Amino acid sequence: MIVQSDTVFTDPKDKGPRGYLVRPSDGQAYPGIVLIQEWWGIEPHIRDIAQRLASEGFVVMVPDLYHGQIATEPDDARKLIMMLRSNIEIALREVELAAEYLRKDPGVSSKKLGIMGFCVGGLLTFKMACRYPHIGASSPWYGGGIDPRTEDISKINAPMLAVYGELDGGIPLAQVQAIESALAEAGKNAEVRVYAGAGHAFLNPDHGAYHEASAKDAWARAVALFKTNLA
């Protein structure tokens, strides 16, 4: 399927979303997905993921949480992510603005949205699933820093697929197991998958430790999750 893309910038004074928008080019309405960046920003890998989702039949909005900045070196990414984490409520508000933008888009067929994010985007995806009521399915990937004791897991109201790599040095398996246990104890429709042999950012062929078998399996499961629950 051919997709069309555009960069959406609105006046910050209007508190509108800033981001990268991709949709199928056939003029039909499709379900919407909010896609949240890794710590690099809206780099080519994230744009590629957005285009892949659009080719599967979704309208995708990537909120620009770095406001035009893109990191190419780990030190720069670390500085940007530290700034974002220190203002995480602002980042969540910007993600919510992107979601509301999609919900009002006439080319989006459902008011329930999908949400998907990687690395820090995985953390923000999990937090949005715990607080934003208009989510039809969520998929946080290798999101570190999630403490299930401080998240309002009771408010998760849609299926979730949480993805991790067994060899991710930044996310201890004990943390992943605590998240899985908390979701199960709360009775949530959530699957936590840990991929053997995979490390952090295993979907990213440019910056991560790309692990082909895990990437293909996890991607197929995430797409199926959205197609099943957002149709």
Between 106 and 209, the more confident residue is: 106
* Active-site annotation, residues: 119, 168, 200
Domains of the chain: which residue ranges? 3-230
Q: Measured in Å, how far apart are the chain's first and last C-alpha atoms?
A: 18
Question: Chain-wide mean pLDDT for the chain?
Answer: 92
Strands (E), the chain: 3-8, 19-24, 32-36, 59-63, 113-118, 135-141, 160-165, 190-195
Fold of 3-230: Rossmann fold (3.40.50)
| Predicted TM-score (pTM) of this structure | 0.94
- Helices assigned H by DSSP within 13-73: 44-55
Q: What is the mean pLDDT of residues 157-161?
A: 97
pLDDT tens figures, 181-194: 999 999 999 999 99
Give the C-alpha separation, 59 to 135, whole Å. 14
The pLDDT confidence band at residue 13, using thresholds 50, 70 and 90, is: low
